[in-house]
Chains A and B, each alone.
Chain A
């Protein structure tokens, strides 16, 4: 077992990527992702990591260069946030179509405007449908543990898709916490060397990125969709092996006191730690509330979510970004869609919370959980509630 260190999550994440023996990095600085790429450039410049660090001139070029690196068969890593992710947008769609298993850490941050460096999920919600495997980490330990899991899934012969590790900007990225490091031997045992399934090789020329004429585009896109859907089983396997290696259990869907709950709150990212405290407080008052969070976001764990919600009569949904022009925001839309075909359809109460770094208190979470119980006891569901906004 590795050592336990008090370290910032970003640094631990970068250490984890380095210990995955990444070979190529293309990155551009953006707050709050910067500590990751700074630390990786230290690894490289100090001679501790045999890799090429390419400090590109934009995030668009970061993703483009990353695809070039991956296309010749190098294990490739990058990291970004917010506007950087938005600038990559065009290329993000091309990476999974070309089946290049780049891994990217995204420190989730609000999108302009107004410009805001603080945390919410408006960046990643915009890039929900890009075709990458997407996983959420909620604290520093999870960031450290899940980087090798991302590479393992991305490079698996049954997957071969780029993978994003999401975690909240500042709230997680800049938090210093005790993190148990794996040993290099554990990394090497968990993550085999990258064995590219396709590559640019002068001895065996191939064409990557050909034009998809109408006779073939549709089939190519459906092949990609099925590849992503099929990745779920490999994620399960990667999590199981991770547990065997270091003893920490990760699930496609994480639950907290949800089994016997009268009301369940569904949320994403680091808010869960605040919400758990609120759940505990309410439980002390005899109120049966619980939490459900997606660990794996894409491919969407439909069955696991339906099972996690069970027969609960009321579900609350927290959105951390707005779907402008729609009464139901993105996470709420997904959960509404989830229940359309489910055997049991609970009442759904929608909240927006914590936009642009707005503080989310235990009191806010208790308010939300109490609202769910009121609905359970017959109160009307009402429209989406914007928690914590001045009105």
Chain B
């Protein structure tokens, strides 16, 4: 397990402060920002993927049956998917306090 990057001593700073792990932002779970979550009604979903297309978080993916869902580790709850859905099958549900 690599050392926590926030605990590096100055001697351990990578040369030039260059960061060698592409897409390390995947470690940053922005799902905690969310106040509402998108819920798909699979009965009305036509599996077109427009929700995934317009997701700024790139966090909407298909399951093995081809239905779309948001990865709640990253979904910030912006509701673009709900607004853009052709069939209106996505509803935003408040997170429990």
> Which residue on chain B has the smallest CB distance to residue A204?
B20
Q: Which of B15, B17, B19, B20 has the most CB of A within 10 A?
A: B17
A156 vs B9: C-alpha distance when bound (angstroms):
23
Instruction: Tell whether, in the assembled complex, residue A208 and residue B18 are in contact, meaning their CB atoms are under 8 Å apart.
Output: yes
Pairwise interchain contact B18-A222, C-beta atoms closer than 8 A: no
> Which residues of chain B from 37 to 63 have a CB within 8 Å of any chain A CB?
none
Q: Are B6 and A220 in contact (CB under 8 A)?
A: no
Measured between beta carbons, the chain A residues less than 8 angstroms from B16 are 97-100, 160, 197-198, 208
User: Hey, which chain A residues are within 8 Å of B20, CB to CB?
Assistant: 206
The answer to whether A219 and B8 touch across the interface, beta carbons within 8 angstroms, is yes
A100 vs B17: C-alpha distance in the bound complex, in angstroms? 11
Instruction: Tell me if B8 and A206 are in contact (CB < 8 A).
Output: no
CA distance A100 to B16 in the complex (A): 8
Chain B residues in 8 Å Cβ range of A99: 15-16, 18
Cβ of A189 under 8 Å from chain B: no
For A198, give its contact among B8, B18, B22 (CB under 8 Å): B18
Q: Which of A208, A210, A219 lies at the interface centre, i.e. has the most chain B CB atoms within 10 A of its CB?
A: A219
Number of A residues near B (Cβ < 8 Å) is 22
Residue of A nearest to B8 (CB): A219
Q: Which residues of B contact A208 (CB under 8 A)?
A: 16-18
Interface: A113 (CB within 8 A)? no
Q: Are A205 and B22 in contact (CB under 8 A)?
A: yes
B17 lies within 8 A of A210 (CB): yes
Q: Residue B13 contacts which of A100, A198, A209, A219 (CB distance < 8 angstroms)?
A: A219
Asked if B27 CB lies within 8 Å of chain A CBs, one says: no
A212 to B18: give the CA distance in the assembly, Å: 11
A222 contacts across to B, CB distance below 8 A? 10
* Complex alpha-carbon distance, A328 and B57, angstroms: 56
Assess whether A223 is in contact with B19, with CB atoms less than 8 Å apart: no
Cβ-neighbour of B18 out of A206, A216, A218, A219 (below 8 A): A206
CB contacts (< 8 Å) of B22 on chain A: these are 205-207
- Chain B's closest residue to A97 (CB) is B17
- The distance in angstroms between the C-alpha atoms of A209 and B18, with both chains bound, is 7
B11 interface residue per 8 A CB criterion? yes
**Cβ–Cβ contact A98 & B19, under 8 A:** no
A98 to B19, CA, bound (A): 11
Question: How far apart are the CA atoms of A210 and B16 in the complex, in Å?
Answer: 10
- Asked whether A226 is an interface residue with its Cβ less than 8 Å from the other chain, the reply is yes
How many Å from the CB of B33 to the closest CB on chain A? Answer: 18
Minimum CB distance partner of B24 in chain A: A207
- Cβ-based interface call for A46 (8 A): no
Give chain B residues whose Cβ lies under 8 Å from the Cβ of A198.
15-16, 18
Residues of B close to A223: CB separation below 8 A: 10-11, 13, 17
Contact call B19/A210, Cβ cutoff below 8 A: yes
Instruction: Please report the C-alpha to C-alpha distance between residue A9 and residue B22 in the assembled complex, in whole angstroms.
Output: 46
List A contacts of B6 (CB < 8 A).
215-216
Residues in A with CB closer than 8 Å to B8 are 216, 219
A205 neighbours in B (Cβ, 8 Å): 22
Q: How far is the CA of A169 from the CA of B11 in the complex (A)?
A: 39
- As a 0/1 sequence over residues 1 to 36 of chain B, the CB contacts with chain A under 8 angstroms (1 = contact) are 000011011111101111110100000000000000
How near does chain A come to B19, taking the closest CB pair, in angstroms? 4
A-B pairs, top 8 by smallest CB distance, nearest first, are A99-B16, A222-B10, A223-B13, A219-B10, A207-B19, A205-B22, A223-B10, A215-B6
Excluding A98-B16, A210-B19, A215-B6, 10 further A-B contacts by CB distance (< 8 Å) are A97-B17, A98-B17, A206-B20, A208-B18, A209-B17, A216-B5, A216-B6, A218-B10, A220-B17, A226-B11
Can you list 21 A-B contacts with CB-CB less than 8 angstroms, sorted by A residue number? A97-B16, A97-B17, A98-B16, A98-B17, A98-B18, A99-B15, A100-B16, A197-B15, A197-B16, A198-B15, A198-B18, A205-B22, A206-B19, A210-B17, A210-B19, A216-B6, A219-B9, A219-B13, A220-B13, A220-B17, A226-B11
